[in-house]
Amino acid sequence: MPKLERGLVQVYTGNGKGKTSAAFGLALRAVGRGLKVYIIQFIKGGFDYGELYVVNRLPNLTLKAFGKGKFVTQQPPSKEDVKLAEEAFKLAEEIIKSGEYDLVILDEINVALNLKLISLEKVLELIKSKPKHVELVLTGRYAPKEIIDVADLVTEMREVKHPFKRGCQAREGIEF
């Protein structure tokens, strides 16, 4: 039986830090309240992120990451990058349509859209067809206007100041 009466669509976007962290904070809150959560990470597979070390210890939380462990910079993207994004999207369709999970997070899907790894029309159709009780979160820079328009909540992280600009390197446990 679904735990949420009504699931909304949330978008975390913008050029500032904290989009994935906000989504993981929501996941932690949901798990704490007994909800089932599934996180699918687009283009983040193969990277060493701190959250990967804890998710298996939390009940009702599943994470699957797709990607080659390096940033997608080639345009047009490689066939392998497209294939991995399509696999991630296929899993997202299965997980969302099953209705088995209360909260589904599609981490960096907006970046995958921007890189043309997946089709905007397919993502919009998935949003439209999601079960009523499923809360859906889409993260990543470059959220297209069409995604923003169909979302119920949109938060834009805006960089005001960042230590990287002063030469501070990413720190284990804080940035990754």
| CA–CA separation, 149 and 115 (whole Å) | 20
Better pLDDT: 56 or 39: 39
In the three-class reduction of DSSP (H, G, I as helix; E, B as strand; rest coil), residue 155 is classed as: strand
| Of 31, 19, 23, residue with least CA distance to 101 | 31
For the chain, the average pLDDT equals 93
Measured CA distances, 102 to 34, 65, 156 (Å): 10, 19, 24
Give tens-digit pLDDT for 86-123.
Answer: 999 999 999 999 999 999 999 999 999 999 999 999 99
**Res 174: pLDDT:** 84
List, in sequence order, the alpha helices (H) in the chain.
19-32, 79-98, 109-114, 120-129, 145-150
Query: Torsions phi, psi of 165, nearest 5?
Result: -70, -15
Whether the predicted pLDDT of 1 surpasses 70:
no
| Of 152, 32, 18, 22, residue with least CA distance to 102 | 32
Q: What angle do CA 7, 12, 13 make, to 5 degrees?
A: 145
Query: Torsions phi, psi of 153, nearest 5?
Result: -135, 130
Domains of the chain listed by start with CATH number: 9-160 (3.40.50.300)
Give tens-digit pLDDT for 61-70.
Answer: 999 999 987 7
Give tens-digit pLDDT for 130-166.
Answer: 999 999 999 999 999 999 999 999 999 999 998 888 9
Q: How many CB atoms lie within 10 A of CB 79?
A: 8
In the three-class reduction of DSSP (H, G, I as helix; E, B as strand; rest coil), residue 103 is classed as: strand
